[in-house]
Amino acid sequence: MTFVPDRPAGPPAWRIALTVPGGLADAFEAALEADCLALSAFELEPDGAWTVEGYALAEPDRGRLAARVALAAAGQGVAEPPLAISRIPPTDWLAETRQAFPPLRIGRFFVHGEHIGAGARPPATLPILVDAATAFGTGEHPSTAGCLRALERLAHHRRPVRALDMGCGTGILAIAMTRLWRCPVLAADIEAESVRVARFNAKRNGVAWQVKVVRSDGYRDAAIAAGGPYDLVVANILARPLAGMAAGLARSLAPGGTAILSGLLRYQEPLVLAAHRHAGLCLKERLVVAGWSTLILG
């Protein structure tokens, strides 16, 4: 699932869906992006059609949305796909997610909600307490799991002095970095709700003194510049924003520093890698979890 940075305060009420030819999901995601709080794209069959779904708080403008889809289809030289818009029945989505949120063992990390007692923690693990929230990041999504695995790999041969979690959501990756290295971490997000949730999670995990959370639109905020340069930057966002922020990342990264990028599918790698190569960064390693790529650059 692809999450649009970052998350609003209420549950989605409308679903938008269309089926598109293979390899064109990215173009049609862009057509839906302005109206949706979250997007997903998944393959229906190998080398076949894809379903693109969007979720919105308010009923979308059908005419405007149809026009964007038509433009996307014309730009790709394909027939306009049928557009389905439906209302999602009201539900207590946070309560349901809590009930369906089992603890996760991801490498050495043990990610769990408050409903899992301390006694259930496996020995020799690094605990991260994160409940289902109005911000993205509970460890269940492959992009978050990929970042956690990448951090653990780096722990074998790197010890950052300054770290940055860009697009922090719940703050799970910032907390993970403090668990591994006990280093100061600056966590940043464009949404005030994510900043609130990340600060809350840092406090309840006992690392508020190490994790500073700020509201920031990418790397342009003064707090980002003041805290750098960074030995390690983690950005679990979306493919297009990652590509657009490549130059800012390169400026914020210390010489010899490492960047971990996620939130992209395998077919989106060329877009992200090309932008970062142009900014002077090279691919060192990739991890793929359930079709989602996590890239380690330096």
What's 159's domain CATH number? 3.40.50.150
Q: Which residue, 292, 234, 240, is CA-closest to 264?
A: 292
Based on the fold, state whether residues 77 and 224 are members of the same structural domain.
no
Q: Which residue, 185, 181, 187, is CA-closest to 169?
A: 187
Q: For the chain, what is the mean pLDDT?
A: 87
Residues in the chain: 298
**Distance of CA 193 to CAs 37, 111, 220, Å?**
14, 21, 20
Residue 94 within any structural domain of the chain: no
Residue 134 has a pLDDT of 53
What's 51's domain CATH number? 3.30.70
**Distance of CA 64 to CAs 67, 75, 83, 183, 251, Å?**
5, 17, 12, 48, 38
Domain tally, the chain: 2
First-residue to last-residue Cα distance in the chain: 26
pLDDT of residue 40 exceeding 70, the answer is: yes
Residue 43 has a pLDDT of 77
The residue-averaged pLDDT of 3-28 equals 70
The DSSP letter of residue 224 is H
Residue 36 has a pLDDT of 83
Q: How confident is the model at residue 2 (pLDDT cuts 50, 70, 90)?
A: very low
Residue 134 within any structural domain of the chain: no
Q: How confident is the model at residue 173 (pLDDT cuts 50, 70, 90)?
A: very high
Based on the fold, state whether residues 148 and 291 are members of the same structural domain.
yes
**The whole model's pTM is what?**
0.68
Residue 242 has a pLDDT of 96
Q: Say if residues 70 and 79 touch (Cβ distance below 8 Å).
A: no
pLDDT of residue 45 exceeding 90, the answer is: no
Place of tokens 């496996």: 122
Q: Say if residues 53 and 16 touch (Cβ distance below 8 Å).
A: yes
- Widest CA span of the chain, in angstroms? 58
Residue 135 has a pLDDT of 52
The residue-averaged pLDDT of 157-176 equals 94
